């Protein structure tokens, strides 16, 4: 190999990295797509002629063929802590006072204010100038290794001009406009759209095939250097230095020497939140000088030198075009507002919940009104206000239907519930929603059974209940729209595979009122198998279920009513006859475990699957509750926890802890609540 070829290769690598930075980070391309493609073609031709030049950090290796069967767990170089939250200027002032109290009297802390990115947090490692590692946030101490997936992101250079070890924190985001395109493709393919950019980013990061990840427009935004000798003495200067190295940062930080300047910067960021191409849900205020950060240190949960100021939930105004009524899995009728499309919290919203008749009456909302919508928990859009001054004419009040809009059966109501219900278990809308729930991953996990396919199965009356799935054959499925032979065979294979799910997964999939995943597992352990439970008498059912820890009267009655309802019982017998559900494996009770005698309710957005957290608690001798109730020892709160759950915990004297504290308890540490 000639020195000329080596020099040209190095030149092409640097050029392509530079153009990627301008295009994906600065949104300011310096060359046309055609010119970029020509450079890339020159690189691949040169590497084909001289394979020894092809290294892992070459732009040609962005999308490799390293398909994995699982994700390896790795320990973070520096633990990834959460941030304490604040919601008012007064609380920001309190934060400043705490900082000054811990520093010397002569210290004058300067703060950096920056957007709080709403994506998926990752750790990124560079060693000797090369991208060397990366992992998801995980539990804060360990995460899942995702280096091959990070390499697919063109804004992240695989080579930088910095020789020392560099450990970075980044938030992987998806631009709002790009999420719309992704969801259009998913809906066309019969898949459910992503609820928001954060979910799309987090799900994409954990995919096992980098070739699929490469098709997702993921953009890492570096917000912190936690290890980088001689990079800079302050946080703000470190962000500037990282940008000069060609690394993607948000480039939106503001250095503030007074709290007045902090408040102004916070207000400006909140005012312009809609102008960012990606989602932000607040701002982060950090002590700028690294030396002061070291002095301030951290608590068991949060760094003392940083705090997150959370914005109020975003709202938008639009026009109400129509009110329709949808029928859910339980038969409940829910009024839905059909709206003029409007951008809200990262997605285009055209439908929002009106909940029930009482809410409609309280808002006095009518077709044609100008309405305000907001995302409950930043996920589910709902109508929250009406601009009556803008109302034109005298539009009629909305009346809930007296008959089910899907099957025309007269609706019913009960004294203790606001919702109207369709009592017909064969209602196509109820069947459709029941199939959706039954096939979900946390239930019977029936792969390939998307919304479009379910709709066709119900419309053609091939499936009238979940048990009918097991009577389908490939020829019937292939006769449906957009179903080829191989696709049909995959559907039948997935349905057959669901027969092996454990009894608790079946109970979860049936969607029995008041019986969630945790309660379903407890029921399955008490009964052992579907056959055993079917043989219980009414008296035995109430005795056995009442003996389950944490089951109140409503849960006992709900399960007994379901088990002895003629329609539900016929469905259970039908499922049993088709060999659905295996017996529940008995879990060994850990007597004397570190959590023995303690009970936990787990809620909010967690760093890993909730089932895994439940399993760890049980393995340590603890018990798990579906919701906070009298006697629940701890509420393990992830992110996005509703105020009502925290209030319930306070009412029952339940201590609120985070995932890190739970990890300490599981490890048997001395620092137990």
pLDDT band at 671 (very low <50, low <70, confident <90, very high): very low
Domain presence at residue 353: yes
* In-domain check, residue 67: no
Q: Are residues 199 and 249 located together in one domain of the fold? A: yes
Residue 583 lies in a domain: no
- What is the per-residue pLDDT for 345? 67
Measured in whole angstroms, the distance separating CA 458 from the mean position of its chain's CA atoms is 29
CATH number for the domain that contains residue 477: 1.10.150.20
The answer to whether position 432 is within a domain reads: yes
Residues 139 and 274 reside in one and the same domain: yes
Query: Could you list the residue range(s) of the whole structural domain that residue 335 is in?
Result: 314-424
Q: What percent of the chain has pLDDT over 70?
A: 93
In a domain, 66, yes or no: no
Separation CA 330–CA 7 (nearest Å): 68
Q: Among 65-69, 166-170, 246-250, which stretch is predicted with the lowest mean pLDDT?
A: 65-69
Residues 407 and 437 in one domain: no
Q: Is residue 170 part of a domain?
A: yes
Asked which of 293, 310, 327 is the last residue of a domain, the reply is 310
601: left (phi over 0), alpha (psi -120 to 50) or beta: beta
Is residue 250 within 8 A of residue 115, CB to CB? The reply is yes
For the whole model, what pTM was predicted?
0.56
- Amino acid 52: pLDDT: 81
- 520 shares a domain with 474: no
The tens digit of pLDDT for each residue in 385-400 reads: 999 999 988 899 999 9
Residue 80: inside a domain: no
Domain count, the chain: 6
Q: Contact, 661 vs 301, CB < 8 A?
A: yes
For residues 608 and 213, what is the distance between their CA atoms, to the nearest angstrom?
20
Answer yes or no: do 178 and 263 share one domain. yes
Task: Locate 29 and state its tokens.
Answer: 């391309």
Task: Read off the pLDDT of residues 585-612 as tens digits, 9 standing for 90 and up.
Answer: 876 656 678 888 888 989 887 777 777 7
Residue 574 has pLDDT above 60, yes or no: yes
pLDDT, tens digit, 9 for 90 and up, residues 367-420: 999 999 987 655 678 898 999 999 988 899 999 999 999 999 999 987 666 778
Q: Which residues are catalytic?
A: 116
d(CA 439, CA 392): 45
For residue 170, the model assigns a pLDDT of: 96
* Nearest by Cα to 463 from 447, 443, 449: 449
Query: What residues have CB less than 8 Å from 95, skipping those under 6 apart?
Result: 86, 285, 307
Q: Alpha-carbon dihedral of residues 470, 473, 476, 482, nearest 10 degrees?
A: 90
Q: Please name every residue paired with 234 in a beta bridge, in sequence order, or none if there are none.
A: 289
The reported pLDDT for the residue numbered 627 is: 77
Q: How many CB atoms lie within 10 A of CB 288?
A: 23
Query: What is the token pair recorded at 112?
Result: 């950096």
pLDDT of residue 323: 95
How far is residue 151's CA from residue 544's CA, in Å, rounded to a whole number? 54
């Amino acid at each position: 190999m000639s020195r000329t070829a080596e020099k040209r290769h190095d030149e092409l690598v640097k050029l392509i990295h530079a153009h990627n930075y301008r295009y994906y980070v600065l949104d300011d391309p310096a060359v046309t797509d055609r010119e970029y493609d020509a450079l890339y073609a020159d690189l691949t031709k040169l590497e084909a002629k001289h394979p020894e030049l092809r290294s892992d950090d070459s732009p040609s290796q962005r999308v490799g063929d390293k398909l994995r069967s699982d994700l390896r767990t790795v320990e973070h170089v520096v633990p990834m802590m959460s941030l304490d939250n604040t919601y008012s200027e007064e609380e920001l002032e309190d934060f400043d006072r705490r900082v000054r109290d811990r520093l010397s009297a002569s210290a004058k802390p300067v703060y950096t204010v920056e957007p709080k990115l709403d994506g998926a947090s990752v750790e990124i490692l560079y060693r000797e100038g090369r991208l060397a590692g990366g992992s998801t946030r995980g539990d804060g101490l360990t995460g899942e290794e995702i280096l091959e997936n990070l390499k697919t992101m063109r804004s992240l250079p695989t080579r930088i001009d910095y020789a020392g070890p560099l450990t970075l924190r980044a938030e992987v985001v998806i631009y709002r406009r790009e999420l719309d395109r992704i969801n259009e493709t998913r809906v066309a393919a019969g898949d459910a759209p992503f609820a928001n950019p954060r979910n799309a980013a987090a799900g994409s990061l954990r995919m096992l095939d980098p070739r699929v990840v490469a098709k997702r427009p993921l953009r890492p935004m570096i917000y912190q250097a936690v290890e980088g000798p001689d990079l800079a003495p302050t946080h703000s200067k470190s962000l500037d230095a990282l940008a000069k190295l060609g690394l993607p940062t948000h480039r939106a930080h503001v250095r503030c020497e007074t709290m007045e300047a902090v408040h102004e910067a916070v207000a400006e960021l909140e005012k312009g939140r809609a102008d960012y191409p990606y989602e932000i849900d607040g701002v982060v205020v950090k002590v700028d000088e690294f030396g002061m950060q070291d002095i301030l240190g951290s608590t068991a949960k949060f760094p003392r030198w940083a705090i997150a100021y959370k914005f109020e939930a975003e709202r938008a105004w639009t026009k109400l075009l129509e009110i329709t009524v949808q029928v859910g899995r339980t038969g409940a009728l829910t009024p839905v507002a059909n709206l003029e499309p409007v951008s809200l919290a990262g997605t285009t919203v055209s439908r929002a919940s009106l909940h029930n008749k009482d809410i409609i009456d309280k808002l006095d909302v009518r077709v044609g009104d100008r309405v305000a919508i907001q995302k409950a928990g930043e996920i589910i859009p709902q109508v929250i206000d009406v601009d009556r001054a803008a109302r034109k004419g005298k539009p009629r009040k909305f009346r809930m239907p007296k008959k089910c809009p899907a099957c025309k059966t007269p609706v019913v109501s009960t004294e203790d519930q606001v919702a109207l219900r369709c009592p017909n278990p064969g209602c196509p809308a109820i069947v459709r929603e029941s199939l959706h729930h039954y096939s979900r991953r946390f239930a019977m996990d029936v792969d390939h059974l998307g919304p479009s396919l379910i709709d066709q199965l119900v419309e053609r009356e091939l499936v009238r209940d979940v048990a009918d799935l097991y009577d389908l054959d490939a020829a019937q499925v292939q006769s449906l729209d957009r179903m080829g032979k191989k696709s049909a065979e995959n559907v039948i294979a997935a349905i057959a595979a669901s027969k092996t799910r454990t009894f608790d997964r079946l109970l979860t999939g049936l969607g029995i009122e008041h019986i969630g995943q945790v309660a379903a597992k407890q029921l399955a352990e008490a009964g052992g198998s579907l056959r055993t439970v079917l043989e219980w008498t009414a008296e035995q059912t109430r005795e056995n279920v009442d003996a389950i820890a944490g089951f109140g009267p409503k849960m006992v009655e709900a399960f007994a009513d379901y088990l002895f309802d003629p329609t539900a019982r016929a469905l259970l017998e039908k499922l049993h006859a088709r060999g659905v559900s295996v017996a529940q494996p008995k879990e060994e009770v850990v007597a004397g475990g570190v959590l023995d005698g303690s009970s936990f309710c787990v809620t909010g957005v967690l760093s890993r699957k909730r089932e895994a957290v439940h399993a760890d608690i049980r393995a340590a001798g603890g018990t798990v509750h579906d919701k906070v109730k009298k006697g629940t020892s701890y509420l393990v709160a992830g992110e996005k926890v509703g105020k009502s759950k925290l209030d319930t915990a306070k009412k029952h004297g339940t201590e609120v802890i985070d995932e890190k504290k739970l990890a300490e308890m599981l490890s048997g540490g001395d620092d137990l609540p």
